[in-house]
Structure 1
Amino acid sequence: MEAASTAPIASGGVPRVFAVIRALSAVQVEGGRVTQLARAVGLTQGTTHRLLQSLVAEGMVEQDERSKLYRLSMDFFALAAKAGNPGDLRSLCRPALLRLCASLGDSIFLLVRSGFDAVCLDRSEGPFPIRSFTGDIGGRVALGVGQGALAILAFLPEAEREEVIRFNLSRVREYGVFDEVYLRTEIERVRQLGYAGRNTGLLEGMAGVAVPILDREGRAVAALSVGTISARLNDDRLPTVVELLKREAAAIGPKINPFDVTLRRPAQSLGGSTPEQRVVPGVDRGSVVDPLG
């Protein structure tokens, strides 16, 4: 076996370094042993160990002291995220909102999770006057209330989803049509369909549909929602709207920066300047609103 060394890697070893990084990415959850990684990249154990130790020295790989398993480090992901997506989620999604608004002729909303709530991070206004649970940019609603917030809740990891349900159940009951059985039934329905789209009856004549935006780990961090009048979201048009939403969400997901401050503190990305409130004349902004979130 070759002797291990932490000497700097020569330029000729760059392809081997990336081979090891790719092998590590495939076992990131459970971690990998030198023997396992060596087989995966087709190198000797000594060479693989030397490469791993050099990556450890650079802070790109970490080794568990007890199990001796290797994983890509947080510094590696931070570096990749910074290089791969310099913009925030709002900037990343803005073109999608504009495309959807132009294609569908309806109002489009971007919601992002904030603890037990969903926050309206951005919106593109369509020609039809509609109201939403979150109101304008910066408004928030409990996860589970409204189509966008329901889409996010439905696609959270199970443990997180259960925690949110327990915390928010009393909050969603305030709307008068929710109980735990109903909420869980709706969540299961959304998970099966891949979207939340239904007129809940909270506001006559209004309708909405939303799809989750999933990050690289399959976790729902945001949602794209359409808000419109019920007549424009009938059974014939719904599949087309859902397909357009899913296409845009699928394109956004892989580009999301996991270290974007938007995902942890959405209000900070609003820039402190909220657009003029858009409300239907004669309707109080705090009243019960349409089912899109």
Structure 2
Amino acid sequence: MGTPRATGGVQSAVRVLTLLRHVGAHHATGIRLKDLITLSGIDRSTAHRLLACLVKQEFVERPPGSQHYRLGMEAMQLGLVSAGMAPVIERLRPAMQKIARLTGDTVFLIVQSGDHALCLHREEGSYPIKAFVVEPGSRRLLGLSAVGVDRMARMEDADVAAMHARHPADYARAHMSLARLMSLIRAARRSGHAEMVDARTEQTSGVGCAFQLSAHSYAGISIAAINARMPARRRAELGTQLRTEVQPFEWMETDDAAH
């Protein structure tokens, strides 16, 4: 006896997972709707409806002005966090451990996912008072953390303004006006790193450096500590140290050509 044909909710689930699988397979370059239809065999109206649902739930994203779909924040979060030892963590863990050992402070690995920054990993330094400003698996809008600000420092001002306009309520809750955000970004462009004093609480500060991890992805490493350990001079020193540590991981266009 053959396998019963999937019906109802099961059929919808199969279609959603099929689309998600194809989007994941083409995450680096993105994939258009018509190509998803061809690969999946799902009719256009159904594919469009299911993709809209996946976008709304943030398992798939389509950047403004683009016709290409990529994995969204929620899909990446599930995959990377459940893996625990994802390749990007393995690549950067030694550098993070070195920074934590030398500074004594807490070090975070962040990756960009759409308009957000996703924390992948954390290394603890020896200083007894920890600054656990974010947990692995948690996310924040770009611009609300040191790495997020430094990532936005590489964007055009118009793109920064557009992102701020897409999330007015979230930025307002964080007391992050566009003027304040642009001031932080200009400072990051001048220094090569971003600083966030009292970024999340009234007791902690952070320093972060973002870098291009591949042709289509960005990551960053940040250091967080209590304010007593973060005077302006030390923040500047930590920023210089971070930039030195992440520089070897900075993607160059020739990297892909070499493979």
TM-score normalised by length of structure 2 = 0.58
> What is the rounded CA distance, in whole Å, between the counterparts of 1:159 and 1:93 in structure 2?
31
Of 245, 250, 255 in structure 1, the residue corresponding to residue 247 of structure 2 is 250
- Deviation at residue 201 of structure 1 after TM alignment: 6.4
Provide the aligned C-alpha RMSD in A.
2.6
5+ unaligned residues in a row in structure 2: which ranges? Answer: 1-85
- Residues 161, 201 of structure 1: alpha-carbon distance in 2 compared, 3 angstrom cutoff: closer
- Measured after TM superposition, the shift of residue 246 of structure 1 is 0.4
- Residues 156 and 220 in structure 1, CA contact (< 8 A), matched pair in contact too: no
| Equivalent residue, structure 1, for 2:210 | 212
Partner of 2:218: 221
Report the CA distance between 1:215 and its aligned residue.
4.3
CA shift for structure 1 position 243: 1.6
> Partner of 1:221: helix, strand, or coil?
strand
Alpha-carbon separation, structure 1, partners of 2:155 and 2:179:
18
- Give how far 1:157 is off: 4.9
- Whole-Å Cα distance in 2 between the matches of residues 202 and 161 of structure 1? 21
The percent of aligned pairs where both chains have the same amino acid is 23
1:1-293 aligned at under 5 Å gives the runs 88-126=87-125, 127=127, 128-132=129-133, 135-157=134-156, 160-175=159-174, 177-200=175-198, 202-215=200-213, 221-254=218-251
- Superposed structure 1 runs of 4+ greater than 6 Å apart: 255-258
C-alpha distance in 2 between matches for 1:203 and 1:243? 24
Greater shift in the superposed pair: 161-170 or 231-240: 161-170
Partners of 2:164 and 2:171 within 8 A in 1: no
By relative contact order (CA 8 Å, sep 6+), the higher-ranking structure is 1
Structure 1 gap segments, 5+ residues each: 1-86, 259-293
**Any idea what SS the aligned residue of 1:131 has?**
coil
Which protein shows a greater Rg? 1
Query: Is the Cα contact below 8 Å between 1:109 and 1:123 reproduced in 2?
Result: yes
Contact 2:142–2:151 (CA<8 Å) still a contact in 1?
yes
Q: Matched residue pairs, number? A: 168
- On the 8 A contact 2:148/2:210 being kept in 1, the answer is no
Q: 1 CA distance for matches of 2:193 and 2:154?
A: 10
Structure 2 counterpart of 1:228, one-letter code? A
The alignment partner of 1:112 has SS state of strand
Contact between 2:194 and 2:239, CA under 8 Å: does it hold in 1?
no
| Contact 1:207 1:230 survives alignment (8 Å) | yes
C-alpha distance in structure 1 between counterparts of 2:229 and 2:242, whole Å: 15
User: C-alpha deviations, 1:212-247, integer Å up to 9, x for none?
Assistant: 113477x87111100101121113322321121001
1:142 Cα deviation after fit: 0.8
